[in-house]
Amino acid sequence: MKPTEYRRRRDLIWRRVRQQMRSILMFDGVPVTPEHREAAAQKILFPVRRAREESTQLATDFFNGEAVRAGRPQVSAGRSPFYPREAVEAVLERATASKVRIDGLDVVPATPTQTARVEGLEVAPTRSVVIEGLDDLGVELERARVEIDESNRRDPAVVEKVNLRVDRAIIRHIEQAARDTIVAAVEAEEERSGDPIGWARVLTGAESCGFCAMLASRGPIYKTEETAQRRGKNQEEGKYHDGCDCLIVPVFDIDDDWVGKDAWENLEQLWIESDGRKDFEKRIRELRDRGDLDPYVGAADSGTATREPPGPPVPPVTKSAAGGDDDKSGINWPPHLKYGTKDHPHPHRKPVWTAQERVDRQAALGIDLHGEELYQHEIESVERMQALGAELKWIRRLGTEGQTTNDAVWIGGGEDRRGRRTDIEIELKATKAKQSSIIDVITKCFVRAEKADRRGDAHADKKNFVIDIGDGELTDTLNRQLSMFNERRRDRIPPRQIEGLWIMTRGNLVEVEMQ
């Protein structure tokens, strides 16, 4: 199923429920007492439950389409979790909680009650309903805040405003059934196959805000012990605001062309170029206001969305003196790509070298790279290891599909049972000083090895990792999180484990003691 077809069918489900809810509120008026809310919730409940079941089926169909494309088995649609009447009542109560602001005099609103949680559904509290241009108030205010009570609960303007609030919250509850279905199917397939399979948030462009864009920029989310424990607490990845229309898509292989991959890469690059979250969200608002958000919207059919973010044209690339892949030449790219080469942003946000500087510094490593041309950050990582006294011997790539190799042999980097120094093969990677980033780098290596196992291809056993986090800090918390990696994978089949993990940080090489 194409993303546009998914959205079309989803919108039909939403439209029917919206019409039914609006009719109920217009006919009965806004509920302002517990009895009113109970009666209204009872009428709204059946359409919402039906819509949640339809959303579950739709999400299952979408997942199965992506699964077939990835050569994975399909799943059967289950029932959405029980949805209680109290969830609707909570929405109605929050939508009608208000205090008055008239004639420019602010009345301090009552302290909103704590966020209500019903069966995992969060309903954000609202303080007031804004009515625009109320002629009967006899004031020249363009916007006035009014308290909703028996006297105005049938006023069309009041009903419309309350209906909008109810609509946005209820639609979130309906769509949550679809999102939970995708995530559950992803986790079930991960358990079945033993492969790291993730899910990603994809913007649609209709309601896309800075918060959604920030979460979408993080890319695929994988199930870990930590994310399971955080679920329902302070886990940002699983939060959706009222009116949020982000899609959740399965990611069977991060290297494949999954729905929204190009948009994620563009969002990730925008995040790298931004000066923190506020600056990132400001840029998203500006892009939306200018109508330039398309490159960051992933819920479009393949080939229908703009692939590249707006910016100056990329100059033609010529091979450097070292030879190799053009995309790794180290050309000094324009500002919107300034932290990395054309298809590989610099993980530590360092300015890009000129082509000649890259050639010179690679040659200065004094290592036989067998004709391989390294990325800038790879050269920097080797330089840092050499500065710490490490001796590396680069491993020749086999060049055969499926036959993966480690990056280098670390001379004397290991230790046998008798305490004698031994040579070990390592993967040398650079990334951010974040648990999710480090785990993702390691997980990708395991994914490729597991794929090679299934194909029966020869491959190197990747079990020793040196992760360069640049100037990032290896905090006690991060160290502890990384030390738990093996423990969290014990039930995986095959149970690939890390034998050695070193973090290169601020001129030090710290070994993580794996549990």
Per-residue pLDDT tens digits for 103-160: 332 333 333 333 333 334 444 433 334 433 333 333 333 345 668 888 888 888 888 8
CA distance 327 to 332: 12
Which of 278, 310, 342 is the endpoint of a domain? Answer: 310
Which of 286, 310, 334 is the endpoint of a domain? Answer: 310
What tens digit of pLDDT does each residue of 268-306 get? 889 888 888 899 999 998 988 888 888 888 766 544 433
Between the CA of residue 503 and those of 221, 428, 430, what are the distances in Å?
22, 10, 10
H or E element in which residue 500 lies:
strand 500-505
Q: Write down the pLDDT at residue 372.
A: 85
Higher-pLDDT residue of 141 and 183 is 183
Do 330 and 363 lie in a common domain?
yes
Do 247 and 342 lie in a common domain?
no
Do 253 and 219 lie in a common domain?
yes
CB 189: neighbour CB atoms within 10 A? 21
Tell me, what amino acid is at 482?
Answer: L
160 φ, ψ to 5°? -65, -45
Average of pLDDT values for 411-425? 86
Q: Total structural domains in the chain?
A: 3
Residue found under tokens 């509290």: 125
Do 305 and 363 lie in a common domain?
no
pTM for this predicted structure = 0.53
Mean pLDDT of the chain: 76
What tens digit of pLDDT does each residue of 469-505 get? 998 999 998 999 899 888 876 665 456 788 899 999 9
Tokens of 125: 């509290």
Q: Is residue 315 part of a domain?
A: no
Helix axis angle, 34-69 to 85-96, nearest 10°: 110
Q: Is residue 319 part of a domain?
A: no
Domain extent, residue 418, equals 326-512
Tokens of 1: 């199923």
Residue 383 forms beta bridges with which residues?
none
Percent of the chain with pLDDT over 90: 24
What tens digit of pLDDT does each residue of 358-367 get? 888 888 888 8
Do 203 and 336 lie in a common domain?
no
Do 347 and 491 lie in a common domain?
yes
Q: Is residue 316 part of a domain?
A: no
Q: Is residue 410 part of a domain?
A: yes
Do 15 and 41 lie in a common domain?
yes
Tokens of 124: 């954000």
